Amino acid sequence: MPEATVPDNAPEHCPGTESEEAGKADACAGCPNAQICATAPKGPDPDLPVIQKRLELVKRKVLVLSGKGGVGKSTFTTQLAHAFAADPIKQVGVVDVDVCGPSIPRMLSVTEERLHASASGWQPVYASDNLACVSVGLMLEEEGDAVIWRGPKKNGIIKQFLRDVDWGDEGLDILLVDTPPGTSDEHLAVVSSLKLAGIDGAILVTTPQEVSIQDVRRELDFCRKVGIKVLGLVENMSGFSCPNCHKASDIFPPTTGGAKALASEYSVPFLGSVPLDPRLAHCCDRGQSFVEEWPGTPAALGLGKVSQGK
């Protein structure tokens, strides 16, 4: 039995979630997941080879994670996508798996568009010639409609995004997966669905203050437990860059050293800092590329540094 089928919090002698004895063995007595394991399909997931085939032309698959909400993860994802797409020969895709809070369509200014199916699969919505996205927000009748789904339905739509979306005959240079905060159903669904297709790594986004840093520690532990390589940490909202006087000030003081100290502690790369800039928020509201609208600003330079891996 593969070790990966045994959850970390499983009781002793757990038979594994893919075993025919899952949820039925003596060791399962008292486990809160016993009923789920007993009724879930057994054996390897037949969709995994299909997802692997679908994504074989995607050169890099990168998760964007954050330990808590409000750190600007979706803002960072969209602006990083714009930074990659600034190179016209690169094809960039964004999968929004924040099912209950899909903000990517607004930030890419495609809220009036809808996903539709064709003979080759679901067609992503294009924000520009070389930047496409898929999101639950592109399936709603109204942008403000609430998505009230339980775990299995959320997991199902995430699997469909990875299995059924047609990214074109030439594939993608990079696929960014924007996740919700924390380490929950959506994250596990992405990791399990990409088991064969592979994940190149994860970028973790935090803000400088300790309350955010502590949550990123949990995210780092999640990556370690599920075997995802951490490509690096990004410190978002790293000081405030005044567009008038051009002076910087710390809105969220890094009382314990911020992301740079955390990266050093865990021996992972520190990819850079992106300071607060009100013009960045305006660009996201309008679906604009900040690096194109305001080149040379500290925030644009920070985003460019991360996209270039420097």
Residues 6+ positions from 128 with CB-CB distance below 8 Å: 85
Element of type H or E holding 233: strand 230-241
Q: Would you say the C-alpha torsion 48, 51, 57, 60 has a positive or negative sign?
A: negative
Instruction: Tell me whether residue 37 is annotated as binding.
Output: yes
Of 64, 72, 79, 74, nearest to 289 by C-alpha is 79
Instruction: Tell me whether residue 28 is annotated as binding.
Output: yes
Instruction: Tell me whether residue 182 is annotated as binding.
Output: no
Instruction: Tell me whether residue 67 is annotated as binding.
Output: yes
Instruction: Tell me whether residue 71 is annotated as binding.
Output: yes
**Distance of CA 74 to CAs 18, 27, 39, 68, Å?**
34, 41, 35, 12
Taking the C-alpha atoms of residue 21 and residue 37, their distance in angstroms, rounded to an integer, is 9
Instruction: Tell me whether residue 284 is annotated as binding.
Output: no
Asked if 64 contacts 202 with a C-beta cutoff of 8 angstroms, the reply is yes
Instruction: Tell me whether residue 69 is annotated as binding.
Output: yes
Residues 6+ positions from 283 with CB-CB distance below 8 Å: 79, 289, 290, 293, 294
Backbone dihedral angles phi then psi of residue 207, each to the nearest 5 degrees: -110, 170
Asked if 54 contacts 168 with a C-beta cutoff of 8 angstroms, the reply is no
Instruction: Tell me whether residue 168 is annotated as binding.
Output: no
Taking the C-alpha atoms of residue 80 and residue 87, their distance in angstroms, rounded to an integer, is 12
Residues 6+ positions from 158 with CB-CB distance below 8 Å: 97, 99, 186, 189, 190, 193
Structure tokens that stand for 132 in this block: 């496409």
Instruction: Tell me whether residue 68 is annotated as binding.
Output: yes
Instruction: Tell me whether residue 74 is annotated as binding.
Output: yes
Residues annotated within the binding site are 14, 28, 31, 37, 67-74, 242, 245
Residues annotated within the binding site for ATP are 67-74
Residues annotated within the binding site for [4Fe-4S] cluster are 14, 28, 31, 37, 242, 245
